[in-house]
């Protein structure tokens, strides 16, 4: 349509249709271009992964005159387009709705025949435009280059050089090696300079008369040159200068195309510097205008122009954006898109004149360095939560900044290093001869600054009259000569920056005169460092540049030596790797000459092979390289930070920090700030649902991102490809993934040297990332499309080898590649392998992931494949039941049962019966015996529809066994015996050891309850043998648990503990929490019978917790009864009665009279101890009415209670007779512990004097 795009970035595209070239139809062509853009985007298919996303642009048209100027210098040149017309079109655009094309009055006058609808005053919605002939675009003629010559290459380079200033620094390589873009963590700064529109209007009036608009460009250049200087000083990159409703705005990014670990701080410092520079800029502009008007037209406009100064406001936000090269082969733009850019623009919109507004994420990163006040939060349409906003007031002084840093945790895991450094520091400050250097070296975040601070604090306490001067080098000061040295010098001279300049200069002379009178004549050399007016003398003016530098270094060295002669002096320089070259030279000189005075030079820095460390070879220097914390120290640091134990759920976050203290501290603070862990009212930390397990704290992301940008593009790309493979990666897989293998080994060596990866112990081809966080940051920078492609290539490479043990890896790579059909079978295979290893929690997670990637999930309208669904849902239900997740197991079994019934109920009778039985088993485990029996009945009925087969017989045996167990739970032992014997006869011809072991174990339980210990021993022993033959761990654990009960009843309590612990190990391995509760309960009774009441209490308490977790009311009741017994023995009858009452309530609900009797007996015994004979007698009568079996353990306990009552009533003879009967009954039942307990009571009553009736 004849237009040209002149600006594109973020979410706005600016196109011009030039009237001088297109004539009177330029507005009509622009309108047709807008409508065509709408039609094209509406018809375009959604990109992969963006289903449901629609693109409805808003378009505004306005016609008028614009002003363009190129501003900047050889470092960078920017095209500025400005004028009233541009501001008007921006205002119109804000009024347009998605999908609308709106035009202003000025444009509508040029659209003859257009159909429009008025939307607002001076604004119209375009509905239709008259047709206009469009000439087809002429393709560019093919270029057939001649063979290259030096002349053509030289010509090409000269043409490239012309374009170089228009490309932001560091971008050229990214353009050449672009792979579609990346995600980057950046800080976006918008600076809006305005009231320029008024100035431009007035200048236009004059310019029309004079025919000279060059002054506009000069004014723009005056502002832009200052902006550019500030931005470049702090390492930012100007992305563009575009339009705003009022004036123009400059968009600057810190972190793209090159990242620094302190980009938020750089951006805020730049915003403050822009504010500080504006008055000087306005003075320069006023001078330009006066000079221009002196030689051009004069008139009434001059006073107005002279008063029109620029105003400015700044908005800053930090976050993750898309950064990449977009466009056509003829036209590229480096754009950054994302919410962060929009948020910075919103902050700019609410700011006032001279304000610097920052978002909450930026504030958290810079709050130690600036003072700010909170402002009303920013509400953005379409975003659920407002964003906190802050207005930056000023920089903090260095001492103030140090005081406002987040308080670190106590030093952990560094005691050895601390002792070594403290010894070296004390020797340096002791004198005779004194003097020394202590150097701390380590990777980012390893704890250098923390250890240096601890060392300084301790020295100030221990060394009398010590003066400690401390500074931190800043990454954006690497080209600012003597920056850290100057800060140390200001501290040493105690210069008051708030004092008048003359007093500051006098202070410098005073200190030098008193300490170094012979060097006072060189004081003017300090002026560039101190910013104090110290005019050159004849001597200093006569010095050459080299001589000035040498004398300055001499003066600084002598000054610090002189300070050390007065009192011990420690100079601490943190982050020395960022010091400028001049400062490093001064520090190196001082390191050499520190000897002879109590002068300590403390240095901390990162390892850098390119930078010299001459102090390493000095005898009076101590150097120490810090290593990552050990795992135990990392855990202790986290515990210290939290002030308590960390929840298990956050351990993966802690592990990926790799023992780096800063990463650990930031991770813990991030987890707390994000609400992923919270402290309960009882002071315990609990994990909340974690929505983004891959999230990375912003400060860590900045630090690692800056290091990534130090790699060349090819090595960085290799690191990203390795990150797709995983935390550990194999070189052979990497070879199959990368496209260019020629430099692979050199690049791996570079990554090792840069401390990103290390060789693993497994072999020459095995590597791993130094920190999981490094892998995560490298991975997260890639676009989703790149990740998908690389995951598919990695999976294909792994699949070519032996995939037997790689199912989890393959499944996850195919899932990440968005190939669920290939991921599904690998998730199933991996889950089955996990279940075979009894890794049931892992199996559960894998089955759930298999379901998420199931083929039928990708086509919701098509029915699921029955065979695949049965495989997943049946196995998932079994794992859930093993893990005591009974509710979810019932839902899973029920869904599959419904699916079978929908297809062909008769054909799948056997499968349906198995599911009905499993449903009954889950209800039995929950104590819902009636519902369980109902499901078992349905299963038996359904089996009648199935054809006879071995599988059908096996299922019949299972149903009979489970039904018999329900009757056992109801204490109907005869019915239980009948069903279990029938099950045993059904299973016998099938030779199924696993099921036979289960049935025999249950028969052992029935025999034990009958009191037939010999038969019980026989059944349980056979069960153990069958379970060992089958390898069924669940059956083995049940047999071991019953062996524990048998040996306990025989009084073999040590053996009982042995069997119980074996059973507990197995059920813990399997992960069956219900069985864990049962076995722990049994062990509790063993310890009770051993009269080890503390251990009994501990086991009963744990058993109650486990039973409560799985809602097993039967075992809750048993553990409460045990706790009641233990509390009674420990003398806490209040707690005992409370526990028994709870147990009684559950026993009544479950209709278990035997357990009710036991509770009543215990409460009656407590009443007797409290001399409440009437209450005890009443309780006895209540229990006697419940007991129906006279040859039971409950009746023996009831007789023992009757004996206690008789003895309390003074009838010793009757009491002893009753105890003798009870003892005989317990002996008949082979219950040795109760025999012993009864015999002890009888012996006690035999020698004690009974109470009188009066008593």
Spatial contact of 858 and 821, defined as CB atoms under 8 Å apart: yes
The pair phi, psi for residue 659, each rounded to 5°, is 75, 15
What the block records as the tokens of 9 is: 């970035």
Q: What CA–CA distances, in Å, run from 1006 to 123, 1019, 1050, 1232?
A: 91, 10, 17, 18
Residue 65 scores a pLDDT above 80: yes
What is the DSSP code string of 171-213? Answer: -HHHHHT-SS-EEEEEEEEEEEEESHHHHHHHHHHHHHHHT--
If pLDDT is split at 50, 70 and 90, which confidence band does 873 have? very high
Name which residue leads in pLDDT, 290 or 524.
524
**Closest by alpha carbon to 686, among 695, 694, 676?**
676
Distance CA 1179, CA 1175 (A): 6
Name which residue leads in pLDDT, 1124 or 9.
1124
Residue 49 scores a pLDDT above 60: no
Q: Span 600-625, mean pLDDT?
A: 86
Residue 1188 scores a pLDDT above 80: no
Distance CA 207, CA 599 (A): 67
Residue 505 scores a pLDDT above 60: yes
pLDDT tens profile 752-775: 888 888 887 766 788 888 877 788
Distance CA 792, CA 785 (A): 11
Residue 152, CA atoms < 13 Å, CB-side half-sphere:
5
pLDDT tens profile 164-198: 888 876 676 666 655 567 888 899 999 988 755 55
Q: Phi-psi region for residue 434, left (φ > 0), alpha (ψ -120 to 50) or beta? A: left
Spatial contact of 1113 and 926, defined as CB atoms under 8 Å apart: yes
Residue 663 scores a pLDDT above 70: yes
pLDDT at 208: 47
In a domain, 213, yes or no: yes
pLDDT at 1167: 87
If pLDDT is split at 50, 70 and 90, which confidence band does 1110 have? low
Residue 911 scores a pLDDT above 80: yes
Strands 436-441 and 331-337: unpaired
- Based on the fold, state whether residues 520 and 540 are members of the same structural domain: yes
Residue 137 scores a pLDDT above 70: no
- Based on the fold, state whether residues 337 and 194 are members of the same structural domain: yes
Name which residue leads in pLDDT, 877 or 409.
877
* DSSP state at residue 405: S
pLDDT at 136: 66
Residue 1079 scores a pLDDT above 80: yes
CATH code: domain of residue 885: 1.25.40
Distance CA 497, CA 499 (A): 5
Q: Span 1191-1207, mean pLDDT?
A: 84
Q: Span 439-443, mean pLDDT?
A: 90
Residue at a domain's end among 103, 128, 153: 128
Distance CA 199, CA 9 (A): 27
Residue at a domain's end among 775, 800, 825: 800
pLDDT at 180: 67
Q: What is residue 616's three-state secondary structure?
A: helix
pLDDT at 177: 58
Of these ranges, 239-253, 710-724, 832-846, 1034-1048, the one predicted with the greatest mean pLDDT is 710-724
**Closest by alpha carbon to 699, among 1250, 77, 263?**
263
- Based on the fold, state whether residues 375 and 443 are members of the same structural domain: no
Residue 305 scores a pLDDT above 60: no
Residue 101 scores a pLDDT above 90: yes
Q: Span 1132-1146, mean pLDDT?
A: 87
Quickly count helices (H) and strands (E) in the chain. Answer: 53, 26
In a domain, 1096, yes or no: no
pLDDT tens profile 363-374: 988 888 899 999
Residue 899 scores a pLDDT above 50: yes
Distance CA 670, CA 184 (A): 19
Residue 210 scores a pLDDT above 60: no
CATH code: domain of residue 935: 1.25.40.10
pLDDT at 695: 64
- Based on the fold, state whether residues 270 and 376 are members of the same structural domain: yes
Q: What is residue 1072's three-state secondary structure?
A: coil
Percent of the chain with pLDDT over 70: 91
In a domain, 739, yes or no: yes
Percent of the chain with pLDDT over 90: 22
pLDDT at 337: 85
Residue 50 scores a pLDDT above 50: yes
Of these ranges, 477-486, 644-653, 959-968, 1158-1167, the one predicted with the greatest mean pLDDT is 959-968
- Based on the fold, state whether residues 297 and 311 are members of the same structural domain: yes
Name which residue leads in pLDDT, 222 or 142.
222
Name which residue leads in pLDDT, 1186 or 451.
451
- Based on the fold, state whether residues 770 and 637 are members of the same structural domain: no
Q: Span 617-630, mean pLDDT?
A: 88
In a domain, 711, yes or no: no
pLDDT at 768: 84
Burial 1130-1148 (b: 16+ CB within 10 A, else e): eeebeebbebbebbbebbe
- Based on the fold, state whether residues 796 and 816 are members of the same structural domain: no
Q: Span 157-168, mean pLDDT?
A: 83
What range does the domain containing 83 cover? Answer: 4-128
pLDDT at 892: 94
Spatial contact of 346 and 382, defined as CB atoms under 8 Å apart: no
Strands 436-441 and 599-605: parallel
Residue 803 scores a pLDDT above 80: no
Give me the sheet containing 728-730, strands edge to edge.
Answer: 728-730, 766-769, 757-759
pLDDT at 791: 92
- Based on the fold, state whether residues 488 and 591 are members of the same structural domain: yes
CA 655 to chain centre: 12
- Based on the fold, state whether residues 606 and 464 are members of the same structural domain: yes
Q: Identify the helix (H) or strand (E) that includes residue 955.
A: helix 950-969
In a domain, 1109, yes or no: no
What the block records as the tokens of 131 is: 């047709």
Q: Span 278-296, mean pLDDT?
A: 81
Name which residue leads in pLDDT, 588 or 648.
588
Q: Span 496-523, mean pLDDT?
A: 88
Distance CA 296, CA 290 (A): 10
- Based on the fold, state whether residues 590 and 637 are members of the same structural domain: no
pTM of the model: 0.67
Name which residue leads in pLDDT, 971 or 115.
115
- Based on the fold, state whether residues 856 and 949 are members of the same structural domain: no
In a domain, 357, yes or no: yes
If pLDDT is split at 50, 70 and 90, which confidence band does 38 have? confident
* DSSP state at residue 328: E
A 10 A CB-CB count for 498 gives 7
In a domain, 1062, yes or no: no
The pair phi, psi for residue 511, each rounded to 5°, is -65, -45
pLDDT tens profile 543-579: 888 899 999 999 999 999 999 999 999 999 998 988 8
Spatial contact of 599 and 433, defined as CB atoms under 8 Å apart: no
Q: What is residue 1230's three-state secondary structure?
A: coil
In a domain, 997, yes or no: no
pLDDT at 1253: 46
Q: Span 127-145, mean pLDDT?
A: 75
pLDDT at 550: 92
pLDDT at 406: 44
Q: With 0-12 CB in 10 A as exposed, 13-18 as middle and 19+ as buried, what is 1083?
A: buried
Name which of 81-85, 135-139, 897-901 the model is least confident about: 135-139
If pLDDT is split at 50, 70 and 90, which confidence band does 344 have? very high
If pLDDT is split at 50, 70 and 90, which confidence band does 407 have? very low
CATH code: domain of residue 30: 3.30.70.1230
pLDDT at 708: 84
Residue 1003 scores a pLDDT above 80: yes
- Based on the fold, state whether residues 427 and 558 are members of the same structural domain: yes
CA 364 to chain centre: 17
**Mean pLDDT, the chain, whole residue set:** 84
Residue 590 scores a pLDDT above 80: yes
Q: How many domains does the chain divide into?
A: 8
Residue at a domain's end among 695, 726, 748: 695
């Amino acid at each position: 349509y004849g237009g040209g795009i002149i600006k594109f970035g973020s979410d706005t595209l600016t196109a011009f249709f030039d009237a001088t070239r297109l004539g009177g139809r330029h507005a009509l062509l622009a309108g047709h271009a807008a409508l065509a853009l709408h039609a094209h985007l509406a018809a375009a298919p959604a990109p992969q992964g963006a289903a449901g996303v629609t693109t409805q642009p808003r378009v505004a048209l306005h016609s008028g005159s614009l002003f363009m100027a190129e501003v900047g210098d050889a470092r960078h040149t920017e095209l500025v387009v400005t004028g009233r017309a541009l501001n008007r079109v921006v205002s119109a655009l804000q009024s347009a709705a998605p999908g609308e094309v709106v035009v202003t009055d000025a444009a509508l006058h040029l659209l003859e025949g257009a159909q429009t609808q008025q939307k607002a005053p001076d604004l119209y919605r375009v509905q239709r435009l008259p047709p206009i002939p469009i000439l087809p675009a002429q393709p560019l003629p093919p270029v057939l280059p001649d063979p290259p010559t030096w002349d053509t290459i030289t010509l090409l380079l000269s043409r490239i050089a012309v374009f170089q200033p228009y490309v932001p620094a560091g971008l050229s390589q990214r353009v050449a090696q672009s792979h579609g873009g990346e995600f980057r963590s950046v800080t976006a700064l918008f600076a809006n300079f305005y009231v320029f529109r008024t100035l431009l209007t007035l200048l236009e009036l004059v310019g029309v008369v004079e025919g000279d608009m060059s002054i506009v460009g000069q004014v723009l250049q005056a502002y832009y040159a200052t902006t550019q200087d500030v931005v470049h000083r702090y390492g930012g990159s100007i992305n563009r200068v575009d339009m705003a409703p009022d004036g123009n705005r400059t968009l600057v990014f810190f972190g793209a195309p090159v990242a620094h670990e302190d980009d938020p701080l750089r951006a805020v410092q730049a915003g403050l510097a822009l504010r500080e520079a504006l008055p000087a800029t306005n003075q320069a502009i006023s001078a330009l205008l006066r000079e221009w008007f002196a030689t051009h037209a004069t008139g009434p406009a001059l006073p107005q122009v002279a008063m029109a100064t620029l105003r400015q406001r700044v908005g800053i936000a930090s976050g993750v954006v898309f950064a990449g090269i977009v466009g056509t082969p003829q036209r590229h733009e480096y754009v950054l898109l994302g919410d962060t850019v929009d948020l910075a623009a919103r902050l700019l919109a609410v700011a006032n004149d001279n304000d610097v507004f920052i978002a909450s994420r930026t504030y958290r990163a810079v709050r130690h360095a600036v003072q700010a006040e909170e402002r009303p939060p920013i509400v953005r349409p379409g975003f659920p939560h407002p964003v906190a906003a802050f207005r930056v007031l000023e920089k903090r002084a260095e001492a103030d900044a140090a005081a406002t840093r987040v308080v670190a945790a106590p030093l952990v895991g560094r005691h050895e290093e601390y002792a070594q450094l403290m010894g070296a520091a004390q020797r340096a400050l002791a004198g005779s001869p004194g003097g020394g250097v202590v150097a701390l070296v380590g990777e980012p975040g390893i704890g250098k600054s923390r250890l240096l601070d601890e060392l300084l604090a301790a020295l100030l306490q221990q060394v009398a009259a010590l003066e400690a001067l401390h500074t931190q080098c800043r990454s954006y000061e690497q080209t600012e000569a003597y920056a850290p040295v100057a800060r140390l010098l200001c501290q040493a001279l105690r210069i008051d920056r708030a004092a008048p300049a003359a007093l500051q200069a006098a202070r410098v002379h005073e200190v030098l005169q008193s300490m170094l009178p012979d060097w006072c004549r060189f004081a003017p050399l300090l002026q560039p460092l101190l910013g104090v007016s110290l005019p050159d003398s004849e001597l200093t003016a006569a010095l050459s540049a080299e001589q000035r530098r040498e004398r300055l270094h001499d003066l600084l060295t002598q000054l610090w030596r002189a300070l050390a002669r007065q009192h011990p002096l420690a100079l601490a320089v943190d982050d020395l790797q960022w010091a400028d070259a001049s400062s490093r030279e001064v520090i190196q000189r001082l390191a050499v000459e520190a000897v002879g005075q109590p002068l300590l030079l403390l240095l901390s820095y990162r390892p850098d092979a390119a930078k010299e460390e001459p102090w390493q070879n000095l005898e009076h220097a101590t150097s120490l390289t810090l290593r990552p914390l050990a795992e135990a120290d990392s855990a202790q640091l986290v515990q210290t930070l939290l002030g308590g134990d960390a929840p298990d759920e956050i351990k993966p976050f802690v592990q990926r920090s790799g023992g780096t203290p800063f990463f650990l501290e930031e991770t813990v603070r991030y987890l707390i700030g994000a609400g992923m862990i919270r402290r309960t009212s009882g002071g315990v930390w609990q994990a909340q649902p974690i929505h983004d397990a891959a999230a990375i704290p912003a400060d860590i992301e900045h630090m690692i991102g800056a290091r990534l940008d130090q790699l060349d593009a090819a090595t960085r790309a290799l690191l990203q490809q390795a990150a797709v493979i995983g935390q550990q990666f194999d070189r052979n897989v990497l070879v199959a993934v990368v496209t260019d293998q020629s430099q692979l080994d050199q690049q791996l060596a570079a990554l090792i040297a840069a401390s990103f990866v290390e060789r693993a112990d497994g072999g020459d081809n095995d590597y791993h990332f130094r920190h999981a966080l490094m892998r995560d940051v490298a991975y997260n920078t890639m676009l989703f499309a790149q990740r998908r492609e690389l995951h598919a290539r990695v999976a294909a490479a792994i699949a070519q080898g032996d995939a037997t043990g790689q199912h989890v890896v393959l499944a996850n790579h195919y899932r990440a590649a968005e190939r669920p059909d290939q991921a599904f079978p690998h998730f199933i295979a991996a889950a089955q392998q996990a279940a075979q290893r009894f890794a049931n929690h892992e199996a559960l997670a894998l089955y759930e992931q298999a379901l998420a990637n199931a083929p039928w999930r990708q086509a919701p309208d098509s029915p699921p494949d029955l065979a695949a669904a049965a495989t997943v849902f049946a196995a998932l239900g079994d794992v859930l039941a093993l893990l005591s997740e009974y509710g979810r197991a019932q839902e899973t079994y029920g869904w599959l049962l419904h699916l079978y019934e929908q297809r062909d109920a008769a054909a799948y009778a056997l499968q349906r019966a198995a599911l009905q039985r499993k449903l009954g088993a889950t209800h039995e485990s929950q104590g819902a015996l009636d519902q369980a029996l109902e499901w078992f009945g349905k299963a038996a009925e359904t089996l009648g529809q199935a054809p006879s087969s071995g599988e059908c017989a096996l299922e019949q045996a299972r149903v009979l066994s489970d039904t018999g167990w329900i009757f056992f739970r109801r204490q109907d032992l005869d019915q239980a015996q009948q069903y279990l014997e029938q099950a045993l006869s059904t299973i016998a011809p099938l030779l199924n050891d696993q099921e036979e072991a289960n049935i025999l174990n249950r028969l052992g339980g029935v025999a034990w309850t009958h009191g037939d210990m010999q038969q019980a021993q026989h059944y349980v022993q056979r069960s153990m043998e069958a379970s060992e033959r089958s390898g069924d761990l669940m059956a083995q654990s049940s047999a071991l648990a019953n062996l524990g009960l048998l040996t306990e009843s025989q009084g073999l309590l040590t053996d009982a503990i042995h069997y119980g612990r074996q059973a507990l190990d197995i059920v813990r391995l399997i992960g069956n929490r219900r069985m864990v509760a049962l076995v722990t309960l049994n062990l509790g009774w063993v310890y009770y019978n051993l009269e080890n009441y503390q251990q009994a209490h501990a086991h009963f308490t744990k058993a109650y917790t486990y039973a409560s977790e799985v809602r097993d009311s039967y075992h809750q009741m048993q553990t409460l009864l045990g706790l009641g017994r233990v509390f009674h023995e420990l003398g806490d009858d209040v707690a005992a009665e409370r526990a028994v009452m709870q147990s009684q309530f559950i026993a009544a609900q479950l209709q278990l009279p035997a357990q009710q009797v036991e509770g009543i007996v215990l409460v009656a015994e407590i009443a007797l101890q409290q001399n409440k004979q009437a209450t005890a007698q009443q309780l006895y009568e209540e229990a006697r009415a419940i007991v129906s079996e006279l040859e039971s353990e409950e009746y023996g306990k009831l007789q023992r209670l009757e004996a206690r009552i008789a003895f309390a009533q003074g009838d010793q003879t009757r009491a002893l007779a009753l105890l003798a009967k009870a003892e005989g009954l317990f002996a008949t039942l082979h219950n040795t512990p109760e025999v012993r307990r009864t015999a002890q009571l009888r012996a006690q009553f035999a020698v004690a004097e009974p109470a009188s009736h009066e008593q």
